[in-house]
Amino acid sequence: MKIGIVGFSGSGKTTLFNALTGQNVPVGFGSKVNLGTIKVPDPRVEKLAEIHQPDKVTFAEILFADVPGGKGNTSLDPQTLGKIREMDALAQVVRGFDEGAGTPAPVAEITAFESELILSDMGIIEKRLERLRKDRSDARLLELMERCFAHLEKEEALRTLGLDDNDLKLLSGFAFLSIKPILFVLSLPEGETALPAEVAELGARRNLTIIPICTAIEAEIAALDPADQKEFLKDLGLDEPASARFIKSAYWLLDLITFLTQGKDECRAWSIRRGSTAVEAAGAIHSDLARGFIRAEVISFDDFVKSGSEAACRENGTLRIEGKDYIVKDGDICHIRFNV
Ligand SMILES: Nc1nc2c(ncn2[C@@H]2O[C@H](COP(=O)(O)OP(=O)(O)O)[C@@H](O)[C@H]2O)c(=O)[nH]1
Ligand SMILES: [Mg+2]
């Protein structure tokens, strides 16, 4: 799962990237995509580690790519669009600070960025429609493409069209931009914590997730050692760092859940999409486990902690045997039995 930190130049993307990952990438104009991961904090993994004392403890991770905005302040060049295309989901950083860059215009910035994605998608569809109308070979795709185009013409992103699973399958090869899930980070000046009224209003009206973050300060905090971080955050009236707030929103945006695996060798958390089956969860661990899937032995985290051991769960019936199609729940501890 790769989340692209995107937006126009000078909006605070690299600063946010540093705040999230604790890296120290130089800010300012650059054309390199920076990559970094953050661990998803999860007290359940810590609890399992406490019980098993394993050799290794592994948290789920989210991968970030800081995608430079290119030269334009209100438009995106083809290279930048190409880099955005590779992302699974987007976090657009919107400038909310002045700092010599001029009065911020966050609502206009959100709209302008969306327009760029929409225009790019329209270009792709237009070309394809021409061919589809000439060939008359694929009526289903033609109908779908016309529906998409009409929606984009109204300046609406494809993600708001209400496409069903079949539609999405047909469209997956096109890698449209305005179809990608997106959330917004408003980079605020020091000392401010709330969204300006016009931004909050836009978010409410269009049902957008917009997180206010003072990116510059949070980047400074992320560079401190953990003990000092707590102190600093308390002074600012925050109970958790930007990365924690961001992860929660990203999980929600991408509709992710966590399942767990445990043992003497490793206790580990894994992110999968809500609605994934046991065999898909097995595949997240290793393709062999999906290929040779026999069954999953599943205990909910709460039941495990209450019962104290896997043997006790077997005894009291809280360990369940589930098949391929079982829909994995958040907090399930899974043991995949497989044979390859
Ligand atoms: N005051 C203030 N300045 C910021 C903030 N975030 C970034 N900056 C500054 O704005 C400039 C551009 O930031 P940068 O992260 O390089 O933007 P990018 O081009 O989107 O990657 C840098 O000088 C940053 O120090 C912020 O939240 N508040
Ligand atoms: Mg940058």
Q: What secondary structure does DSSP assign to 221-268, as a single string?
A: HHTS-HHHHHHHHHHTT-SS-HHHHHHHHHHHHHTEEEEEE--SSEEE
Tell me which DSSP letter residue 54 carries.
Answer: -
Tell me, in angstroms, the distance from the centre of ligand 1 to residue 95's CA. Answer: 8
Structure tokens at 118: 């929409």
Tell me, in angstroms, the distance from the centre of ligand 2 to residue 54's CA. Answer: 39
Atom of ligand 1 nearest to the CA of 187: 27
Residues in the chain where the model's pLDDT stays below 50: none
Pocket lining: 13 vs ligand 1, CB cutoff 6 Å:
yes
Query: What residue type is assigned to position 215 of the chain?
Result: T
Mutate to test the pocket of ligand 1, among 27, 236, 246 (most ligand atoms within 8 A of CB): 27
Domains of the chain plus CATH, in order, are 2-42+60-104+180-253 (3.40.50.300), 110-174 (1.10.150.300), 275-338 (3.10.20.30)
Pocket lining: 25 vs ligand 1, CB cutoff 6 Å:
no
| pLDDT score of 188 | 93
Q: What secondary structure does DSSP assign to 126-194, as a single string?
A: HHHHHHHHHH---HHHHHHHHHHHHHHHTT--GGGS---HHHHHHHGGG--STTS-EEEEEEPPTT--S
Print burial letters for 182-217: b (CB count within 10 Å at least 16), e (below 16). bbbbbbbeeeeeebbeebeebbeeeeeebbbbbbbb
pLDDT digits (tens, 9 = 90+) for 70-108: 876 778 999 999 999 999 899 999 999 987 778 999 999
pTM of the model: 0.87
| pLDDT score of 73 | 73
Residue with tokens 């993307």: 13
State how far the Cα of 69 lies from the Cα of 29, in Å rounded to an integer.
9
Among 247, 255, 253, smallest CA distance to 182 is for: 253
Beta strands at 61-66 and 2-6: parallel, antiparallel or unpaired = parallel
Residue nearest ligand 1's atom 2 by CA:
189
| pLDDT score of 43 | 95
Query: What residue type is assigned to position 25 of the chain?
Result: V
C-alpha atoms less than 13 angstroms from C-alpha of 196 in its C-beta half-sphere: 14
Tell me, in angstroms, the distance from the centre of ligand 1 to residue 12's CA. Answer: 4
Mutate to test the pocket of ligand 1, among 99, 190, 193, 220 (most ligand atoms within 8 A of CB): 99
| pLDDT score of 84 | 95
Question: Cα torsion at 305, 309, 310, 314 (round to 10°)?
Answer: -90
Query: What residue type is assigned to position 116 of the chain?
Result: E
| pLDDT score of 153 | 98
| pLDDT score of 28 | 79
Q: Residues 84, 118: contact at Cβ < 8 Å?
A: no
| pLDDT score of 104 | 94
